[in-house]
A and B are shown apart, each in its own frame.
Chain A
Amino acid sequence: MALTREQIAQRIAQELQDGYYVNLGIGMPTLVANYIPESIEVMLQSENGLLGMGSYPQQHEIDPDLINAGKETVTAITGAAYFSSADSFAMIRGGHVDLTVLGAFEIDQQGNIASYMIPGKLVKGMGGAMDLVAGAKNIIVSMTHCNRHGQSKLLKQCTLPLTGVNCVNKVVTDLAVMEINQGCFHLTERAPGVSIDEIREKTAGELSISGDILEMNVS
C-alpha cells in the first residue's frame, strides 16, 4: 500500500537526530513535527525569524506577532530566539541548518528540484525555497511518487523551472525511500506491500537497486 501523508512524515521523522536544527517546508513537511521521537531534542527553524518553533497555540494564546513561514499562528518553545530575515537566511545560506525537508513538483537523478513554478499557471514566487535548497547541508524531499495523472515525478531531467541544482540528497515518497547520487536514484526502502516492480515502473529516472530492499518501518 502507498503511504499516507502522515506515514511519509513519520518516515522522514526517523531521519532526525538529537541536536538537529531543522527547517520544515510548508505543507506535508510540516507534519514531520508531529512525529519527532520523544527521546531526542530538535529545534525547528522558521525562516520568517524564529528558532525554536512550538505547536499551534490554544485559542487564548494566539498572538498576531508570532507566526510561521506559512503565516499560521504558532508558539515558541523555551529557549527560542527571534531574529531578522537577514539573520534567518544567514543561518540557512551559511549552512547552519542541519536538515531541510521540503516538497517538490519534480526532482531528477542529478539532484535538481523544481518546486515553485508551473508555466502557464500563476507564478506566486519562490519564497525562501531557493535559499533553503542552496544552503542546507542535507535536503530531503517529501512528495508523492507520481502526479495526479499517474506520471512519475522522479525524472531523468526536470521539465519545470528549477528551484535549485544538484542539491537533493534523499527523497521519501508514498512508495519508496531513495538516495540520489552519481546521477542515479538508489532505492533503499519500499513502502510496506509495494513491489520493486511497481517502484521501477513509476520511476522515470535512472534507478539502481542492489541487495535486499527492506520495507519502511511505519505504523
Chain B
Amino acid sequence: MAGFNKVVTSYDDALAGIKDGMTIMVGGFGLCGIPEGLIAQLQHLEAKELTCISNNAGVDGFGLGLLLEKRQIKTMIASYVGENRLFEKLFINKEMEVILTPQGTLAEKIRAGGAGIPAFYTATGYGTQVAQGKETREFNGRSYVLEPSLTADFSLVKAYKADTMGNLVFRKTAMNFNPMMATAGHITVAEVEEIVEPGELDPEHIHTPGIYVHRVIKGQFEKRIERATTID
C-alpha cells in the first residue's frame, strides 16, 4: 500500500490481523448490503470466540449463518435473529450468548462509538427488560436509559462503489448499518462492487469519507434475496 491507496486484492490481505476473541461488526440488514466475500473469508480463517455485532444473523448457510456452522461466534449483538434454524439451536442450547438490542439503539451505539461518544441517553426500552441494570435519568419530565456505545476491532462493510482512497458510496437500502460501522472499526474493511479512481466519485455525494476506511476490496456478490415479493 502506498499513500492513500487502500486497495487490497486478496481476501487474506483484507482480513489480515483477525484473531480469536475479537469484536467484529458486520454491515447489512437481513441479507441486503452484507459483505458476502469477507464473511466467507472469516469462515475460512476459522477465527473463534468472536463477538459479532450485526443487525441480524444471516440465514442457514449464507451471510453470518456461515460463521455459526463452525461455532465461531461466542456473543451475538443484534436486534432480530429469527431467520436461522442453526442460530435457534445454538441459542436454545446456550452455545452462544445473544444480546438483543433495539435496532435504533444498536445503530446509535455504533454511530456514537465511531464518533467518540462513550454513552448516550435514549427513551427506547425504558420500562422494559432492555433497561434492566442500566442507569436511568429524567430529562424534562421523561425517563431515559443510559446506553454505552460500541466499537470493534474490525468492521466489515459493504458499499456499492469505492475510490482507491476509501471514499464510499452506498446503493439504495443496502446502505443500512454500513456507514456507522465504517466509522466504528479500529480497522474497517469495505467490500465493494466497483473500485474507481480518485475524482470519479463526486465529493458532494460521498456517504463515507475515506478517513474511516482502511482497506478496500472488490468483491463478487450473489445478492441473495430473502423474500422476493412482487405485485403480480
Partner-B contacts on A (CB < 8 A): 46-50, 55-59, 62-68, 70-74, 76, 82-86, 88-89, 92-93, 112, 117, 122-131, 134-135, 161-166
Contacts and interface: CB of A to CB of B under 8 A. Distances in A.
Contacts, number: 175
Interface stretch (B9-17, B18-26, B174-182): B174-182
Interface stretch (B40-48, B64-72, B212-220, B221-229): B221-229
Interface in B180-232: 180, 207, 223-232
A131 B105 contact: yes
A125 B84 CA distance: 13
B121 to A, nearest CB: 11
A58 B230 contact: yes
B94 interface: no
B163 interface: no
Interface of B: 29-33, 55, 78-82, 88, 91-92, 98, 100, 102-108, 110-111, 122-130, 160, 170-180, 207, 223-232
B104 A89 contact: yes
B127 A86 contact: no
B82 A125 contact: yes
A66 B173 contact: yes
B207 to A, nearest CB: 8
A153 B91 CA distance: 29
A127 B29 CA distance: 11
A122 B173 contact: no
A125 B79 contact: yes
Question: Residue among A86, A117, A124 with the most chain B CB within 10 A?
Answer: A86
A128 B175 contact: no
A211 to B, nearest CB: 32
Contact of B104 (A58, A59, A92, A124): A92
A58 B224 CA distance: 18
Q: Which 5 A-B pairs have the closest CB atoms?
A: A89-B104, A131-B104, A124-B82, A165-B127, A64-B223
A58 B103 contact: no
Contacts of B130: 126, 130
A122 B82 contact: yes
A68 B170 CA distance: 16
Given A128-B79, A165-B128, A64 B105 contact: no
Contacts of A166: 127
Contacts of B103: 47, 85, 89, 126-128, 131
A82 B123 contact: no
A82 B122 CA distance: 24
Contact of A62 (B124, B175, B224, B225): B225
8 contacts: A55-B231, A64-B31, A73-B225, A73-B228, A85-B176, A93-B108, A124-B82, A161-B128
Given A73-B228, A84-B107, A89-B107, A124 B80 contact: yes
Indicate the member of B33, B91, B176, B180 with the most A CB atoms within 10 Å.
B176
A78 to B, nearest CB: 15
- Among A46, A134, A166, which residue has the most Cβ atoms of chain B within 10 A? A134
A134 B123 contact: yes
A162 B127 contact: yes
A64 B176 CA distance: 13
A96 B124 CA distance: 15
A85 B172 contact: no
B124 A65 contact: no
A124 B76 CA distance: 13
A56 B231 contact: yes
Most chain A CB within a 10 A radius of its CB, from B31, B33, B171, B172: B172
Given A93-B123, A125-B100, A165-B127, A62 B228 contact: yes
A88 to B, nearest CB: 7
B127 A164 contact: yes
Nearest to B57: A125
